[in-house]
């Protein structure tokens, strides 16, 4: 409770004069304290600052997102064009493949002159080896299945050389020409048949151990198919020389 500053009488709220002594009562200022208006102003300032910072941060982010989306679209378009170009190239390559590759998906490299030369040397080597072992399986891997040459070769081994006890030593074999459809070649493509001419030299040992050294020029039909060479036919053989040894 407030009291009169002059007489000490108790004052009621709202009195302008003391009821005892009549002294005028001084009232305190009705002005609001500083903190009551400073706090709202501070809140307004903080909110304004937050709005400004958000706008400054969000604008470059939106710009970055727009740029990124554009880059992604460009990258996707470039990737799509590249894939379409690659597919077109693959189609062109497939169209240019030989029939065997287009049908099976497998391409066999041509066999070179050296490979054919080794093949023929190995065949003659296996043939002469069979005259000692009397085992035709050594030579059968070089013969085309079901061919005339297969039956002729096996018949000659079984019914002539084996029966008469004749043995042959392989001295050398050399391919001297390769032709496909009358054209000289140094290789054979897949699915081709070539005429291969060789020079072959043997030592022929008879049952009485007498021997003859002979040289032949022989022409074969050689088939190259699915990466494998086989001899199809003996097209002819000429004896070039013969020499009695002992």
Report in angstroms the alpha-carbon separations of 33 from 36, 37, 41.
Answer: 6, 7, 14
Q: Which residues contact 107 (CB under 8 A, 6 or more apart)?
A: 97, 98, 100, 101, 190
Question: Where do the domains of the chain lie?
Answer: 111-244
pLDDT digits (tens, 9 = 90+) for 9-46: 776 776 777 777 767 776 654 455 665 666 677 777 77
End-to-end Cα, the chain, rounded Å: 159
pLDDT at 161: 94
pLDDT in tens, 221-240: 999 999 999 999 999 999 99
For residue 125, with 0-12 CB atoms within 10 Å meaning exposed, 13-18 middle and 19 or more buried, which class applies? middle
| pLDDT reported for residue 106 | 79
pLDDT score at 71: 56
**CA geometry: angle at 191 spanning 186 and 196, to 5°?**
40
pLDDT 10s digits, 105-153: 678 999 999 999 999 999 999 999 999 999 999 899 999 999 999 999 9
With a cut of 70, say whether residue 220 has pLDDT above it: yes
CB atoms within 10 A of CB 72: 10
Q: What is the DSSP code string of 141-186?
A: TTBPTT-HHHHHHHHHIIIIIHHHT-EEEEEEEEEEEEEETTEE-S
- State CA 237 to chain mean position distance: 48
Q: What CATH class has 111-244?
A: alpha beta
Examine the pLDDT at 69 and tell me if it is beyond 80. Answer: no
Q: Quick: pLDDT tens for 78-105.
A: 556 666 667 666 655 555 555 544 555 6
**In the prediction, which pLDDT does 20 show?**
72
- In this predicted model, what pLDDT tens digit does every residue of 161-181 receive, in sequence order? 999 999 999 999 999 999 999
pLDDT band at 65 (very low <50, low <70, confident <90, very high): very low
User: Structure tokens of 212?
Assistant: 């003859």
């Amino acid at each position: 409770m407030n009291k009169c500053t002059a007489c000490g009488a108790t004052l009621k709220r709202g009195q302008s004069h003391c009821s005892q002594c009549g002294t005028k009562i001084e009232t305190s200022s009705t002005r609001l304290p500083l903190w009551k208006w400073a706090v709202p102003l501070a809140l307004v300032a903080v909110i304004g600052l937050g709005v400004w910072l958000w706008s400054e941060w969000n604008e470059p982010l939106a710009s970055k997102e727009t740029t990124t989306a554009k880059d992604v679209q460009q990258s996707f378009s470039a990737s799509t064009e590249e894939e379409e170009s690659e597919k077109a190239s693959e189609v062109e390559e497939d169209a240019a493949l030989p029939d065997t590759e287009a049908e099976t998906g497998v391409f066999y490299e041509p066999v070179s002159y050296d490979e054919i030369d080794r093949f023929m040397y190995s065949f003659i080597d296996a043939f002469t080896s069979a005259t000692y072992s009397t085992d035709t399986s050594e030579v059968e891997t070089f013969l085309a299945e079901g061919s005339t040459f297969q039956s002729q070769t096996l018949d000659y081994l079984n019914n002539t050389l084996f029966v008469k006890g004749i043995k042959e030593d392989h001295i050398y074999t050399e391919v001297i020409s390769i032709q496909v459809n009358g054209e000289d070649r140094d290789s054979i493509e897949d699915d081709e048949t070539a005429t291969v001419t060789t020079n072959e030299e043997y030592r022929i040992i008879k049952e009485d151990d007498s021997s003859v050294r002979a040289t032949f020029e022989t022409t074969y039909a050689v088939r190259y198919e699915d990466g494998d060479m086989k001899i199809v036919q003996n097209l002819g053989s000429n004896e070039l020389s013969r020499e009695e040894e002992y």
